[in-house]
Amino acid sequence: MNGYFLPMRYTAADGDTWEGIAAHFRMTPEILRSFNQPAPLAAGQMVDLRGVDVPQLGAGGHVTGQDGQGRLLYRTVPGDTPSGIASRYGVPLHALRMANLDLLTGGEWIPPAGSTVTIPNAPTD
């Protein structure tokens, strides 16, 4: 879990399947497999639920480092959206917006490609 009590990873148990885990966390098995090694699922295996290390629709950029408070610094690419970034890093959208008030320029916030977005309280392991 991250600091917002949102699950980021799941430890597989005996009898778990990609389909069952995906259904439990409301995603498709194909998406879940794309975040993880496509090998057979084994008990004790750590399953990535958010694809933090995998570019996703609306969040294809990458982390460039951390700020002085330990928050991740994320470099945006064309097509990135606040909801995509928030989902990829498992933080609430409102928290992402609050951490980036300097980037807000009106009603709908779309970070320009190449800008640096602060990811609040994301897992770093």
Which phi and psi angles does 66 have, rounded to 5°? -130, 155
Which phi and psi angles does 11 have, rounded to 5°? -95, 120
Q: Where are the beta strands (DSSP E) in the chain?
A: 9-11, 46-48, 62-66, 72-75, 116-119
pLDDT at 75: 95
Tokens of 101: 């008030």
Q: In this predicted model, what pLDDT tens digit does every residue of 32-47 receive, in sequence order?
A: 888 888 788 999 998 8
CA-only gyration radius of the chain, Å: 15
pTM for the complete prediction? 0.64
Q: Where do runs of H (alpha helix) occur along the chain?
A: 18-24, 29-34, 82-89, 93-99
